[in-house]
Amino acid sequence: MTSVLGDDFISIVDEIERNRNISKEQLSQLLDGHEAEELRQRAVFVREKIYGKNVYIRGLIEFTNYCKNNCYYCGIRRNNKNIARYRINEAGILACCAEGYRLGFRTFVLQGGEDEYFTDERLCRLIGSIKAGFSDCALTLSIGEKNRESYEAYFQAGADRYLLRHETADDDHYRRLHPAELSLTNRKECLQNLKDIGYQVGAGFMVGSPGQSVDTIYEDLQFLRELQPHMVGIGPFIPQHDTPLAQETAGTCNMTVTLLSIIRLLLPHVLLPATTALGTIDPTGREKGLLAGANVVMPNLSPRDVRGKYALYDKKICTGEEAAECIACLKKRVENIGYSIVCDRGDYK
Ligand code: 5AD
Ligand code: FES
């Protein structure tokens, strides 16, 4: 006779995989962690069936840390007077792309705070220059909430993908993490607009943020099921010392990894990064993420002199390395766990 616990477990995971849905009770059981290993194996199986052992790389260019917003968790919030602000100009950004291209990157991610210096006109010119110089590359934007017309203009200019984490799909929780001037309604509308325009879209949330519960995570997962994004970015919340949430506890590697596996079962084809925050909370966090269903890593291509200044959270890794060192290190880490980095655009399958 097989163990009752084992049988129960198989049926939960089977059910989640078959229905591509999860109940609050099932979520709660999986977050308990007892079935972590079986869940992990199933997520890896699903991931390998679709993407094999390939790991896609995205070159992250953190081009401005100016931000007009004041999110309670984020180190580049406008009220933080203790960080040195910077912007990389167009020539500097193109130089990052050229170095990235040489190193094998075929996707660039322009990420920044909501910086009004970068008007739509400047952004469209920048997007045009990148796509003209690197026509076989995908360009991803991660520059926050804009109106529909702006999103359309960037898309016309050549942007392919857009990352905008929803942060939490629960209204009260959203208000606990953001000042009143920001709303979940607007966030969701932005994501819908992006999808309607034709971008490959990424949503996501922090794991273990203050006020998060099984209920709010359940809502996050239901929101992801409805939106059907091409990418989902999740990473542990890590307190930043100059923010209102400085004294809160960080999210854990285990819980992040469990959620990566669950997301892989709910959205089998999703592009799922093992994030820098996961590598920060645990020295082998990114490897653990890849071994739980993640299939993307996003090394930093920003110039070394600005890296420490893009301080969303404390103790961020990879701030001292050159891009080439970072990718060499990551390549070795990925190969050590039996996967391999591929140098193509890595589009959604
Ligand atoms: N800890 C972890 N992740 C953070 N982010 C912002 N601040 C923090 C923090 N303190 C994440 C947010 C944002 C992404 C760019 O970085 O989810 O969407
Ligand atoms: Fe950046 Fe290892 S991945 S130094």
**pLDDT band at residue 38 under the 50/70/90 scheme:** confident
Nearest to 173 by CA among 145, 206, 222: 206
> How far, in Å, from the CA of 10 to the mean position of ligand 2?
36
Q: What is the pLDDT of residues 177-199, one digit of tens each?
A: 999 999 999 999 999 999 999 99
Residue 339 confidence (pLDDT): 98
Angle at 104 between CA 103 and CA 107, to 5 degrees: 115
Q: Tell me how long the chain is.
A: 349
Show the ligand 1 pocket: residues with CB < 6 angstroms.
73-74, 165, 167, 206, 235, 237-238, 240, 277, 312-313
Q: Residue 194 carries which side chain, given as an amino acid letter?
A: L
**pLDDT band at residue 4 under the 50/70/90 scheme:** very low
236 CA: nearest ligand 1 atom: 2
Average confidence (pLDDT) over 129-148: 98
Strand order in the sheet with 161-163: 59-64, 107-112, 138-142, 161-163, 200-207, 231-236
* Contact call for residues 128 and 98 (beta carbons, < 8 A): no
Q: What is the pLDDT of residues 262-276, one digit of tens each?
A: 999 999 999 999 999
**pLDDT band at residue 11 under the 50/70/90 scheme:** confident
Q: Residue 26 carries which side chain, given as an amino acid letter?
A: Q
Residue 296 gets which letter from DSSP?
E
Distance of alpha carbon 235 from alpha carbon 224, whole angstroms? 15
What SS3 class is residue 59? Answer: strand
Candidate from 36-45, 109-118, 149-158, 255-264 with smallest mean pLDDT: 36-45
Residue % of the chain over a pLDDT of 90:
94
The domains of the chain, with CATH numbers, are 52-342 (3.20.20.70)
For residue 1, is pLDDT > 70? no
Nearest to 39 by CA among 332, 299, 266, 300: 266
Residue 3 confidence (pLDDT): 44
The alpha helices in 178-274, defined as continuous H runs, are 184-197, 214-227, 253-266
Distance of alpha carbon 235 from alpha carbon 279, whole angstroms? 9
Residue % of the chain over a pLDDT of 70:
97
Average pLDDT for the chain: 95
Mutate to test the pocket of ligand 1, among 73, 176, 249 (most ligand atoms within 8 A of CB): 73
Q: Using a CB cutoff of 8 Å and minimum separation of 24, what contacts does 142-148 make?
A: 142/109, 142/110, 142/111, 142/112, 143/110, 143/111, 143/112, 143/114, 143/115, 143/118, 144/69, 144/113, 144/114, 145/114, 145/182, 145/186, 145/187, 145/190, 146/120, 146/190, 148/193, 148/197
> How far, in Å, from the CA of 276 to the mean position of ligand 2?
9
Q: What is the pLDDT of residues 324-334, one digit of tens each?
A: 999 999 999 99
Q: How far apart are the first and last CA of the chain?
A: 41
For residue 147, is pLDDT > 80? yes
Sign of the CA dihedral running 88, 93, 95, 97: positive
Beta bridge partners of 64: 87, 112
Mutate to test the pocket of ligand 2, among 326, 332, 334 (most ligand atoms within 8 A of CB): 326
Residue 8 confidence (pLDDT): 55
Nearest to 44 by CA among 204, 300, 252, 262: 262
Ligand minimally distant from the alpha carbon of residue 76? 1
